[in-house]
Chain A
Amino acid sequence: MKHFFQPINFHEHPGAFYGHIVLGLAVMFGVLGILQAVPRQYRKWIIAVFTFLGGLFYVAEFFLPAHSGKNSLNKYDDVVANIFVVVGAYAIGLGVISLLQLHVRKVVRTAPGWGNSAALIISFLGMTVFGLLNEYAPHRLLFHGRLFSQGIRVTNSSVFDFLFTGGIANFGSAIFSMIAFFIASAAYRAFRVRSLESSLLMTAALIIMLGSVGFGTILTNWLPLGNDPKSEFWANFRIENIAQWLLLQVNTPAQRGILFGITLGELAMALRLWLSLERGSYFDKEV
């Protein structure tokens, strides 16, 4: 049982690999079937009980006294973590089905923006197919010939590399880097001397920016570096040292305060979820 939920190497144990997939699907449909068969008023209770047991394991495992760094529940850590991975994989599956349903419907109805939906479906299927082929038949030849007087050899893995390294990786970087343009424009429009608070915020931001780069360092480079006790005092006024002081002496206490608040909020939220006390979207709906 302890090893049942562990990942299986397909290349070493193909039989066990497929066996586990079939068994996993059977269990999934079995569980969904049972949940469907159970009267509605009991479904929430079943989910609440499993949520409580899942949380209880981690609470007990964390608080039980340990001897030589381990307690009696530590040995089940891997099993429970693997169960979470498996349940998480089902959640991804449900997400994929829901996403595809939405976008296929948009394409079929040629709703506004259907081209984007088509691009999503094609990209999704392309990455899925070549991702799997790259794992299980990476060297299978797809094309071998000449193109523009160059000899070309296309395999499953080269198509996957093209899609992953040449596609996803670069698209991801490009989208993220666009934030820089919006931040620059937003900084220009937001940093205005409107009140004492906004002036303080703007001054702090400008000092941190100047202190982070060579351009700022040049402005106070005439001040000593503070390598000897005589010049130590004047070195405090170098822009990078003022920026460092702001980050450590002003930013840090504020961050600590925020951190305490967040942690208390997280604790309250975790208790509400663990004990199924959470109300609001989805939690009040009939399942």
Chain B
Amino acid sequence: MDRTIWHKMQSIDSRYIYAALIVAILIPLFCSKLVYLNIPSKPSIDFYNTIEHIASTEPNGLVIVDGQWSSSSRGENKWQTQAIVTHLMMRHVHFATLSFDTQNHTLTNEIVTALAAKYHYVYGVDYIDWGYRPFQAFTAMLKGLDTDIPGTVVHDSSGKPISSFPIMKGVRDIKDISAIIEISPTSSIDGWLGLVQGVNNTPLLYAPTAISAPKYYTYLDSGQISGMLIGVKGAGDYESLIHQPSFGTRATGALSFVYALIILLVVIGNIGHLKLRAMARTETEK
């Protein structure tokens, strides 16, 4: 049987799909003059509001920013980290960074150091780097944070005792922490939920990759997670909420083009499928 247009609509060569995808990704990324409509999602707004609330009610509060992402999910997590840290610095919220991934410590530090120079953030006074810990120490570290932060963290990344820094003054246990931000493509938030968040109902904010987000709507619904930035769309949402458009905004535009392309392809494939099915039925009836 000859391959009709309906057959071809169902089996477009992958190479054409990849080429169309490259164009759909590149146009929004490089055409900075394009303007995209992006309405921030509710979890993103909740994330933003939690930080705003801390900034206005706890001016000396300390926020933990735990990064577990590496270069593989940099496309999403890097821009989330940049938008979050920018917001913290804009509102002058103190924070401590912590990494349980070998690459993450370097990658997060690059972002924080660049933004600290821009927002005149002083190390040890406005922010601190609690350093990298192997993932095997994750559970013990989290449990230690509940009751004794200086005794658990002990040193910053350069080996100095954390209690010697002004930012750590009065920080003893989890009750002295204003919020926890987890930026991760893995299910590491389960540890924070199970071992830390419930001890003092500390607001827990989560920035996962888009693929891992659906699992955690459960905790968003229960209120255990106070806000969620979902993938690069979350980064774009946050950039628009803090009025600092950057790569996340352009990437959200690219995402929009890519989704439109995928939907178009699905529709084309289904038209071919339905038409052929109808033709087969007519043949059978004859």
Contacts and interface: CB of A to CB of B under 8 A. Distances in A.
A16 to B, nearest CB: 14
A224 to B, nearest CB: 13
B186 interface: no
B103 interface: yes
Contacts of A193: 270, 273-274
A210 interface: yes
Q: B-side binding surface: helix, strand, loop or mixed?
A: helix
Contact of A81 (B137, B146, B252): B137
Interface in B219-260: 220-221, 230, 233, 252-253, 255-260
B269 A12 contact: no
B143 A210 contact: no
B74 A81 contact: no
Contacts of A84: 136-137
Contacts of B147: 69-70, 74
B217 A214 contact: no
A172 B255 contact: no
A212 B233 contact: yes
A168 B210 CA distance: 23
B27 interface: no
B32 interface: no
A57 to B, nearest CB: 11
A185 B71 contact: no
A170 B71 contact: yes
A255 B214 CA distance: 8
A217 B139 CA distance: 41
Contact of B269 (A189, A252, A256): A189
A244 interface: yes
A249 B79 CA distance: 29
B154 to A, nearest CB: 8
A256 B217 CA distance: 10
Given A88-B136, A188-B265, A192-B270, A214 B253 contact: yes
A184 B218 contact: no
Interface in B145-168: 146-147, 152, 155, 159
A217 B266 contact: no
Contact of B214 (A88, A170, A215, A247): A247
B42 interface: yes
Nearest to B265: A188
B144 A184 contact: no
Interface in A165-184: 165, 168-173, 175-177, 180-181, 184
Contacts of B74: 169, 172-173
B227 to A, nearest CB: 14
Interface stretch (B12-20, B52-60, B113-121, B122-130): B12-20
Contact of B38 (A11, A170, A206, A214): A214
B17 A184 contact: yes
Contact of B263 (A164, A210, A214, A252): A210
A196 B258 CA distance: 26
B266 A169 contact: no
A210 B273 CA distance: 22
Contacts of B199: 69
Interface in A245-283: 247-248, 251-252, 255-256, 259
A55 interface: no
Contacts of A215: 256-257, 259-260
10 contacts: A77-B144, A164-B103, A172-B74, A181-B17, A188-B17, A188-B265, A188-B266, A202-B266, A217-B38, A251-B214
Interface of B: 12, 14, 17-18, 21, 25, 36-39, 41-42, 70-75, 103, 106-107, 134, 136-137, 139-141, 143-144, 146-147, 152, 155, 159, 173, 199, 210, 214-215, 217-218, 220-221, 230, 233, 252-253, 255-263, 265-266, 269-270, 273-274
Given A78-B144, A168-B103, A177-B75, 17 more contacts: A69-B147, A69-B199, A78-B152, A81-B136, A85-B136, A85-B137, A88-B134, A164-B103, A173-B72, A173-B74, A173-B75, A181-B17, A189-B269, A209-B262, A213-B259, A221-B37, A255-B218
* Across the A-B interface, the 6 shortest Cβ-Cβ residue pairs: A81-B140, A172-B71, A169-B71, A213-B256, A176-B72, A188-B265
